């Protein structure tokens, strides 16, 4: 299968690639979470205190989302073939922007969840699935936004 270059990519091509990237990242991060969360009987999704000191699913989702957003933005730039905008300042700004976006989205979602549902305990398997979904969604969204921005004309 020929590799698509930046100048030949349309919005549906970018979306298709982003969805594949999201699925792959969901599986990889799901496997990683299986090893990280192994041994826990139940894990709270969130707790009603910022300094609880308790491991929570949504608390783990924040650094996962931020790090994935920033790393995958840079990786998308370096792996895209063909003409594209320069890394500095375009993609470097996207790295910061996507990290902040991921942080805000996950923290806001966790706060709203805690407010509406309170502390809910989930099984280890459910925690793994939720964290894998976060990784997949972040990966797909960031991949799409990055490639769309760096191949678009100024």
Residue extents of the structural domains in the chain: 11-151
Print pLDDT tens along the chain (154 aa): 334 445 567 889 999 999 999 999 999 999 999 999 988 789 999 988 766 678 899 999 999 999 999 999 999 999 999 899 999 999 999 999 999 999 999 999 999 999 999 999 999 999 999 999 999 999 999 999 999 999 876 5
One DSSP character per residue, the chain reads -PPPPGGG--HHHHHHHHHHHHHHHHHHHHHHHHHHHTT-SEEES--S-TT-----HHHHHHHHHHHHHHHHHHHHHHH--SS---IIIIIHHHHHHHHHHHHHHHHHHHHHHHHHH---EEEHHHHHHHHHHHHHHHHHHHHHHHHHHHHS--
């Amino acid at each position: 299968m020929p590799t698509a270059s930046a100048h030949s990519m349309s919005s549906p091509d970018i979306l298709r690639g982003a969805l594949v990237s999201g699925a792959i990242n969901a599986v990889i991060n799901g496997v990683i979470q299986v090893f990280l969360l192994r041994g826990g009987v139940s894990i709270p999704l969130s707790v009603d205190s910022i300094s609880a000191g308790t491991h929570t699913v949504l608390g783990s989702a924040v650094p996962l989302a931020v790090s994935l957003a920033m790393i995958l933005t840079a990786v998308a730039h370096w792996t895209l073939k063909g003409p594209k905008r320069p890394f500095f300042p375009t993609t470097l700004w996207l790295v910061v922007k996507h990290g902040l976006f991921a942080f805000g989205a996950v923290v806001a979602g966790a706060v709203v969840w805690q407010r509406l549902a309170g502390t809910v305990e989930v099984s280890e398997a459910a925690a793994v699935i939720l964290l894998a979904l976060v990784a997949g969604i972040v990966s797909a969204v960031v991949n799409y936004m990055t490639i769309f921005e760096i191949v678009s004309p100024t």
